[in-house]
Structure 1
Amino acid sequence: MKKFNIRNVKVRKVDIGQLDDRLLLINLYLTQLITFIIGFLWVIFQGRSVINLFRFNDSLDFLYWGAGLAALIVLFEIAVSRWVPEQAMDDGGVNEKMFKKRPIWHIVVICLIVSICEELLFRGAIQYAVGAYWTSILFAAIHVRYLKHWIPTGMVFGISYSLGWIQEHTGTIWAPIAAHFAFDLIMGLIIRFRKEAER
């Protein structure tokens, strides 16, 4: 049996154009599964209950906070995209490739999975350990496709900090989940129908 040597492993940068749709989806769902598992285990290692973390409050105020924050973020994103050159907002084409030909039901599923998995890790586990500021720095760093440009990096940091703030204000993880879901869904649908109109 041949011995495994880590030095023989070669890592190469792959352009988004080289990924077919199937590979893109596998990558998305696999990274979200890993994110969910890390968040789930981290919450448990903190001595907390994941079930209690996801318990609904009697009040539906979290929906208003989530929808309100999502609306503000969408309006800000649209305003920025009107005045900032497209190159300065470039994410390498990931969002366009992800949403431009996707059926609406699948966009909804993607946005729901991403919002639950990422908020479990970032707001549920990491923010509990280090606070909203450092969580937001990590959240911006994880969204590596934006790091080439300071405007989207700053926006991702601001969005993350806002998500952390509404969780602290409402006392439930469902507020940032609702905001994250609504924002991603609206932006995904904008990409989907904008590209459809351009055809």
Structure 2
Amino acid sequence: MKNKYTDIVNELTDREIMFHLVATQVLLIVISLILGFFLFDDLSSFWELLKWDDAKVWTVGVVSGLVIVNVDLLLMRILPSSFYDDGGLNQRLFQSKTVWQIAAIAALVAIGEEVLFRGVLQTHFGLVITSIIFALIHYRYLFNLFLFINIVVLSFFIGYIYEMTDNLLVTIVLHFIVDFLLGVMIRFSRKKSNQRGGKTNHE
């Protein structure tokens, strides 16, 4: 099953991968709008979840994102590379993007996923149900036990942060920090690898 998924990723062009990403996030936003229409009393009830003047956006959101990224980096150093094998999708997604494009992708994903999972679902159905759904929707990680456990723990952690801060903006910023920094690292690790290869060939 995993090999089949990897083959599918390899057959897609970079444009197709980007299209599927954007389409998925647009779908999540549409689902949020539909569910939100029935679950919230009015639009202002949703906007109250976003507290712009809350210092926890920076002290909790940014700091938590940096902690997650550093834990990931540590695990990447001490664990076999196969533990982080997602079929090559993240590599294909970020390796040829500029920093601004990576930021746009990270913002789109952070907003799309956090609005649906924390803003709509967790607000009305609780932490456990939402975290399980969040983990399962990242279906590509089902092919790798470590990555699946990783996304389950991450999901519960982000959900817990939302519970503690009661501010959707905190988890959006947290999610953005994680995706942006990991995307940038993939981009520049690829560039560094190419430079080393070019130097070797030149010599």
1:31 alignment counterpart: 24
Aligned length: 188
- 1:1-199 to structure 2, matched below 5 A, reads 15-54=8-47, 55-199=50-194
Q: Per-residue deviation at 1:147?
A: 0.8
* Misfit runs of 4+, over 6 Å: none
Shift of 1:114: 0.5
Whether the 8 Å CA contact 2:76–2:84 is kept in 1: the answer is yes
Note closer, same or farther for the CA distance 1:168–1:48 as it changes in structure 2 (3 Å cut).
farther
Contact 1:43 1:124 in 2 (8 A): no
Would you say the 8 A contact 1:115–1:180 is kept in 2? Answer: yes
In 2: Cα distance, 1:61 partner to 1:129 partner: 22
Structure (1/2) with the larger helix percentage: 2
Unpaired runs of at least 5, structure 1: 1-11
- In 2: Cα distance, 1:51 partner to 1:150 partner: 41
Identical counterparts, % of pairs: 30
Distance 1:121 1:76 in 2: 26
Q: Is the 8 A contact 2:61 2:170 kept in 1?
A: yes
How far is the alpha carbon of 1:60 from its aligned partner?
2.5
Alignment check: 8 A CA contact 1:66 1:179 kept: yes
Q: TM-score, normalised by structure 2?
A: 0.87
Give the TM-score normalised by structure 1: 0.88
Deviations 1:8-42 (A, max 9, x none): xxxx9661111111111111111100001101221
Counterpart residue identity of residue 29, structure 1: V
Question: What is the SS of the residue equivalent to 1:15?
Answer: helix
Structure 2 gap segments, 5+ residues each? 195-203
Which residue identity lines up with residue 119 of structure 2 in the other structure? G
Across the aligned residues of Structure 1 and Structure 2, the Cα RMSD in angstroms comes to: 1.6
Change (3 A) 1:49 1:96: farther
* Preserved contact between residue 40 and residue 46 of structure 2 (Cα < 8 Å): no
